[in-house]
């Protein structure tokens, strides 16, 4: 993604989200078989509605057209990040405290994968509590990939 376009897309998305009463989670661009897609992910306590997505799409789309950010054809999509979402920034980790996560990280000379409850986020690291109740602290610098995990079996029990 072009850094300048990403910055502009993020600023436009922040303004649109604020005006729509939702929070911006992330932005990205993807090249697909149908062309360029600019994606805006939004969140809101209680969940994002279709109307929230339509409002942010309308607001951001108008501003992107006015600023002429994309010279070629593109598609603008607005959605929630989903039940299982990628954790890329510290703010993403903070918003996922007490949720089940899967983290791939570099430990000494091996790559490790851990699942558990994200218990704490500090400026330098995260703390995960495994099912065995073992606490594991992982520095942000060691994390290769992380995402929330939605446990559908928990929903069946409700």
Burial class (CB in 10 A: 0-12, 13-18, 19+), 131: exposed
Q: What is the pLDDT of residues 105-150, one digit of tens each?
A: 998 889 999 999 999 999 999 999 999 999 999 999 999 999 999 8
Of all residues in the chain, what percent carry a pLDDT higher than 90? 68
Q: Are 3-79 and 90-156 equal in CATH topology?
A: no
The domain ranges of the chain are: 3-79, 90-156
DSSP state of 130: -
Instruction: Give the torsion sign (CA, 49, 54, 60, 63).
Output: negative
Fold of 3-79: GMP Synthetase; Chain A, domain 3 (3.30.300)
* Structure tokens belonging to residue 1: 């993604």
Architecture of domain 90-156: Roll (2.30)
pLDDT for 155 equals: 54
């Amino acid at each position: 993604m072009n850094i300048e376009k990403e910055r502009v897309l993020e600023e436009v998305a922040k303004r649109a989200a604020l005006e729509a009463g939702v929070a911006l989670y992330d932005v990205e661009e993807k090249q697909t078989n149908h062309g360029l897609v600019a994606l805006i992910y939004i969140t809101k306590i209680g969940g994002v509605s279709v109307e929230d997505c339509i409002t942010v799409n309308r607001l951001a789309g108008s501003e992107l057209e006015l600023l002429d950010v994309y010279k070629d054809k593109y598609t603008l999509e607005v959605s929630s990040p989903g039940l299982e979402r990628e954790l890329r920034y510290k703010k993403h980790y903070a918003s996922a405290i007490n949720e089940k996560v899967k983290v791939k990280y570099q430990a000494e000379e091996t790559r490790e994968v851990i699942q558990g409850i994200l218990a704490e986020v500090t400026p330098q690291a995260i703390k995960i509590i495994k099912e065995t109740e073992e606490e594991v602290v992982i520095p942000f610098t060691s994390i290769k990939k992380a995402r929330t995990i939605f446990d559908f079996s928990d929903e069946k029990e409700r």
